[in-house]
Amino acid sequence: MTNSTARKVTANIALTLDGRYNGPGGPGDMGAIVRYATTEVARDHLTRIWEGATTALLGRLNAEGFLGFWPTVAEDENADPRDRGYAKWLVDTEKVVLSTTLTEAPWERTRVVNAPAADVVAELKAAGEGDILVNSSASVIKALLAADLIDRLYLLICPETAGGGERLFEDGLPGTKWKLTRQEAGELGEIAVVYDRAR
């Protein structure tokens, strides 16, 4: 059995300057984020997030949304190689989808779990190797931040304010300290940062 502390829990998400992962129009309102997601800096950042990961932990909405997009990128020989590399990883890797409503897995190499995120992470850390990547699933990231179970944050900060929408860092989270381990600014003013939890 692997040492349970050997697996890091990492999380990736894009945020506006006012800390939101979507706009006032709801989950599909990505207007303040989408143009920054395909920059050189964002694509290099995307490559970094999955390189050490062997498990993708997703919420239901992201799992279903990703299913409709990334497999086609994996097959597209004309896609940016960084996008394609990520897409192939996502299709091929172990995926765990947290859901209270799904009854069967929406992807191959996927299992659906109806349990609290913290419990699922504890189980994943107790077996296997490689990082556990919580990939843009804000509800899962929030639950793990609340339980102080995230070891690394990959953030893409987009230089716009959304003026409404959901925030990642809400009141009530435990106070935590983070160490900046990487930062890179792009031509549009976007900044890719990596923060490691200082414990």
pLDDT tens across 140-149, in order?
A: 999 999 999 9
What is the pLDDT at residue 128?
87
CATH number for the domain including 100?
3.40.430.10
Please report whether residue 55 resides in a domain.
yes
Q: 75 Cβ partners below 8 Å, 6+ apart?
A: none
> Which two tokens mark 74?
């994996």
Predicted TM-score (pTM) of the model is 0.93
Please report whether residue 52 resides in a domain.
yes
Which residue type does 19 have?
A: G
Please report whether residue 7 resides in a domain.
no
Number of structural domains (the chain) is: 1
The answer on pLDDT for 1 being more than 70 is no
The range of the structural domain enclosing residue 135 comes to: 19-197
Q: Mean of the per-residue pLDDT values for the chain?
A: 94
The answer on pLDDT for 106 being more than 90 is no
Three-state secondary-structure class, residue 188: coil
What is the pLDDT at residue 5?
54
What is the pLDDT at residue 67?
85
Beta strands, E only, 107-165: 110-113, 131-135, 152-158
pLDDT tens across 40-74, in order?
A: 999 999 999 999 999 999 999 889 888 889 999 99
- Angstrom CA distances, 178 to 16, 88, 135, 159, 182, stand at 19, 31, 19, 21, 12
The whole-angstrom separation of Cα 154 and Cα 50 is: 10
Report the candidate in 115, 170, 114, 116 with the shortest Cα–Cα distance to residue 144: 116
Which residue type does 163 have?
A: G
Please report whether residue 63 resides in a domain.
yes
